[in-house]
């Protein structure tokens, strides 16, 4: 099932993220990923949320639009937006499989950002399905630790700019 991605512009002040996530909790909606950051205007933050509930999509958007701290809500579909995630993954640095791991890293166009005798940290960016595929391929090398961001997305074209 494709994830639904919603971009929300909110007032950049204390407690706003808690209000947004609290609405999801109260209504029983599950959040798959969540990213938050300040926009070009320091008074406004952008929250990007992904979730799987197509049945509840309209209700979620309407509930968000009712909130006084929310300035704008927009669904970002795959066809008209660009989305990316970031993955940092620490893998065992096994001398026997090192070259193989570096080849896998090149195939997925990832970047080795740290290297020791014991481990390698790789940075991967891309659409969620690419990140999922990379994780599956490197599992046999021994994942020691990993950290993954949520989806960040922007609409394509100048006509659909989410701006205040």
> Do both 97 and 46 map to the same domain?
no
Indicate whether 163 belongs to any domain: no
Indicate whether 164 belongs to any domain: no
**What is d(CA 19, CA 62) in angstroms, rounded to the nearest whole number?**
15
Q: Can you tell me the mean pLDDT for 130-144? A: 96
Q: Can you tell me the mean pLDDT for 98-104? A: 92
User: Considering 46, 61, 76, which residue would you say is the last residue of a domain?
Assistant: 76
**What is d(CA 104, CA 34) in angstroms, rounded to the nearest whole number?**
28
- Is residue 73 a contact partner of residue 7, using CB atoms and an 8 Å limit? yes
Q: Can you tell me the mean pLDDT for 78-104? A: 91
**What is d(CA 10, CA 64) in angstroms, rounded to the nearest whole number?**
10
User: Considering 60, 76, 92, which residue would you say is the last residue of a domain?
Assistant: 76
> Do both 62 and 86 map to the same domain?
no
User: Considering 76, 95, 117, which residue would you say is the last residue of a domain?
Assistant: 76
> Which DSSP string do the residues of the chain spell out, in sequence order?
-PPEEEEEEEE-STTHHHHHHHHHHHHTPPPSEEEEEE-SSTTEEEEEEEE--GGGHHHHHHHHHHSTTEEEEEEE-STTEEEEEEEEEEEE--GGGHHHHHHHHHHTT-EEEEE-SSEEEEEEEE-HHHHHHHHHHHGGG-EEEEEE---EEEESSSTT----
Domain count, the chain: 2
CATH number at residue 136: 3.30.70.1150
Indicate whether 14 belongs to any domain: yes
Between helices 128-138 and 98-107, what is the axis angle to 10°?
A: 170
pLDDT tens digits along 107-119: 999 999 999 999 9
> Do both 40 and 59 map to the same domain?
yes
- pLDDT value of position 1: 57
pLDDT tens digits along 32-76: 999 999 999 999 999 999 988 778 889 899 999 999 999 999 999
- Is residue 130 a contact partner of residue 124, using CB atoms and an 8 Å limit? yes
Residue range of the domain that includes 20:
4-76
> Do both 10 and 72 map to the same domain?
yes
pTM: 0.83
């Amino acid at each position: 099932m494709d994830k639904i991605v919603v971009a929300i512009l909110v007032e950049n002040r204390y407690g706003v993220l808690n209000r947004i996530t609290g609405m999801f909790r109260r209504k029983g909606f599950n959040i798959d990923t969540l990213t938050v950051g300040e926009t070009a205007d320091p008074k406004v933050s952008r929250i990007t949320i992904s979730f799987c509930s197509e049945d509840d999509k309209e209700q979620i958007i309407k509930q968000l639009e009712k909130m006084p701290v929310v300035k704008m809500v927009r669904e970002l579909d795959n066809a008209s937006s660009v989305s990316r995630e970031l993955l940092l993954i620490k893998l065992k640095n096994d001398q026997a499989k090192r070259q193989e791991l570096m080849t896998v890293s090149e195939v997925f166009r990832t970047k080795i950002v740290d290297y020791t005798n014991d481990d390698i940290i790789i940075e991967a960016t891309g659409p969620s399905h690419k990140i999922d595929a990379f994780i599956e391929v490197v599992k046999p090398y021994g994942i020691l630790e990993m950290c993954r961001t949520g989806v960040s997305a922007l609409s394509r074209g100048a006509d659909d700019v989410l701006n205040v």
